[in-house]
């Protein structure tokens, strides 16, 4: 249990802007625990997003537009933009339309190309649209779905790390992958079962959350294939891009549910 807690704190240090003033061990057992704790990090993020969203809409005089903007801003600030960096680098690599080796070289370039800039503008503007329109049609189930988005995206990141080979021998992705094995998949199965069991307590929300869960699995399946085809495996940048891409599609799914199912 102590290792899992330390792994969770390692995740806070690496993947969020939350200050953790501790010198944590970076050996394989603790990095292994960090991988096992990816969904817990997502659960914390989701709880923060959902709680802030609720407070803004229910206990402040802010307009829907202001509430949407503040939640949108929080989704950037809380992670310190680390996954956005991966999204831009992966976009530059993909849109170079070169072979796998050249794409990896493009991603390693510290300079951000035009496609990286364009892709992040599309990503962030789309997310803002989805969040704003959800505020207009918000329901009780909306908060549960918002809380589920980071949980599912971090689970996708962990499952990619455990099931797809690394495209490089160095980097953040390779560092975490070197400590984890396929045997760690059981922890994700436990998380998924526990999550589904928890959602059974909420009658209507269960159906909506189930749709998000299926969407996340479809994204995982497609991303695994495309990562191997386009890059020859995963890197830290690809994992970051997977988190951002998964969250974008999940936000879009929540938005569509509000329009065509929950309305």
pLDDT tens for 222-260 read: 999 999 999 999 999 999 999 999 999 999 999 999 999
The span from the CA of 178 to the CA of 181, in Å, is 8
Give a yes or no: residue 133 inside a domain.
yes
Assign 17 to helix, strand or coil: coil
Give a yes or no: residue 186 inside a domain.
yes
Contacts of 48 (CB under 8 A, 6+ apart): 74, 78
Containing structural domain, residue 244:
34-260
The span from the CA of 256 to the CA of 129, in Å, is 12
- Report the pLDDT value the prediction gives residue 199, as an integer from 0 to 100: 82
How high is the mean pLDDT of the chain? Answer: 92
Give a yes or no: residue 18 inside a domain.
no
Give a yes or no: residue 28 inside a domain.
no
Give a yes or no: residue 27 inside a domain.
no
Domain count across the chain: 1
The span from the CA of 8 to the CA of 23, in Å, is 13
Q: How far is CA 90 from the centre of its chain?
A: 15
The span from the CA of 7 to the CA of 30, in Å, is 5
Assign 171 to helix, strand or coil: coil
Mean pLDDT of 88-108: 92
Q: What is the gyration radius of the CA atoms in the chain, in angstroms?
A: 18
Q: How far is CA 210 from the centre of its chain?
A: 17
Give a yes or no: residue 241 inside a domain.
yes
- Report the pLDDT value the prediction gives residue 175, as an integer from 0 to 100: 84
Mean pLDDT of 50-65: 96
Q: Which two tokens stand for residue 122?
A: 């599309």
pLDDT tens per residue, range 197-217: 888 887 778 899 999 999 999
Give a yes or no: residue 193 inside a domain.
yes
- Whether 31 and 175 have beta carbons less than 8 Å apart is answered as yes
């Amino acid at each position: 249990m102590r290792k899992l807690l330390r792994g969770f704190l390692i995740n806070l240090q690496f993947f969020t802007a939350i200050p953790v003033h501790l010198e944590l061990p970076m050996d394989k057992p603790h990095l292994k625990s960090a991988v096992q704790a990816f969904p817990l990090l997502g659960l914390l993020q989701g709880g923060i997003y959902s709680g802030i969203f609720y407070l803004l809409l229910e206990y402040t005089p802010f307009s829907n537009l202001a509430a949407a903007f503040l939640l949108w801003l929080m989704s950037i600030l809380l992670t310190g933009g680390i996954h956005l960096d991966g999204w831009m680098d992966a976009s530059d690599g993909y849109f170079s339309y070169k072979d796998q080796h050249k794409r990896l070289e493009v991603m390693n370039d510290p300079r951000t190309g035009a496609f990286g800039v364009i892709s992040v503008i599309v990503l962030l503007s789309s997310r803002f649209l989805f969040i704003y329109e959800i505020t207009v049609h918000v329901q009780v189930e909306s908060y549960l779905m918002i809380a589920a988005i980071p949980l599912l995206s971090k689970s996708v990141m962990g499952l990619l790390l455990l099931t797809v080979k690394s495209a490089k021998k160095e980097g953040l992705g390779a560092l975490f992958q070197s400590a984890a094995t396929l045997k760690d998949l059981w922890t994700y199965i436990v998380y998924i079962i526990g999550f589904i069991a928890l959602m059974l307590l909420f009658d209507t929300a269960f159906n909506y959350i189930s749709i998000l869960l299926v969407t996340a699995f479809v994204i995982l399946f497609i991303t695994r294939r495309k990562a191997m085809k386009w890059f020859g495996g995963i890197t830290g940048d690809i994992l970051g891009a997977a988190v951002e891409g998964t969250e974008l599609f999940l936000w879009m799914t929540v938005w569509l549910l509000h329009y065509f199912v929950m309305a």
